[in-house]
Homo-oligomer: A and B are copies of this chain.
Amino acid sequence: MPWKAIGIFDSGVGGLTVLKEIVKALPQEDTIYFGDTARVPYGTKSPETVTRYSLEIASFLVKRDIKLLVVACNTASAASLDVLQKKLPIPVIGVIEPGARRAVAVTRSGKVGVIGTAGTIRSSAYAKAIKRLNPEVEVITRACPLFVPLAEEGWTDNEVARLTAHAYLDGLREEGVDTLVLGCTHYPLLKKVIGETVGDGVKLVDSAEETARTVAEILRAKAMTRPSSEQGNHHYYVTDIPAGFIRVGNRFLGGRLGDVYQVSIDGEKG
């Protein structure tokens, strides 16, 4: 069992920020990443549709013998984590719970900001998760639709990124948040600009980092990690032509993306 891989999926390329943190935390582990690039984005689709897609992908990955599944997609975590945890015989980790837990632990003012895509913010998934942990914490949310295309374009440290960050975030700072959850897997790429915009007084919570920490804790607790002398291998599957995934993925991982395979999962039993 320890020798099996960690499965990670996202609607597209964004979950690679989670993969990157997992590899940093557990370099000895094999990973299999699945990006549903033919059907991206999930944020505009109904929860039922997203759950159907998630089950299809989970089925594909479980057949490839994984020991743990990471739902590295905020929309899929919000829509389908419960169903996946019930249906699968392995641990399933989403990205929302770890970020929410960290935010609750970190805040001193009791005011937490959450930024994400329009879909994630509309779902209130982070607000609900934070309130479940501590109903006293006030959650102030803001959708930042331009951050994803900025990250994919590689404009993460220029004047456009800075102006955009001010337009989205100045209001949050004025409302007195002392903690800001990066509630979208793309946002860690904009961490520097976001941090400079909100200032030192606001602590950033990176869901990708927190998720990787949770994965490492669970595998260690179950004695399911590989020996730390090992060096993991990394495989990538996508559902549409890989060109765009490779280009953007290399930007996300700093040019270290390996081989990417295109597969079809139409009709895969969820």
Contact = CB atoms under 8 A, between A and B. Distances in A.
Interface in A226-267: 240-241, 244
A174 interface: no
Interface string A24-45: 0000000000000111100011
Nearest to A38: B45
A241 B163 CA distance: 31
A13 to B, nearest CB: 11
A244 B150 contact: no
A31 to B, nearest CB: 23
A44 B145 contact: no
Contacts of A155: 146, 167
A163 B240 CA distance: 32
Contact of A44 (B45, B146, B167, B244): B244
Given A39-B39, A145-B149, 4 more contacts: A38-B49, A146-B153, A149-B149, A160-B160
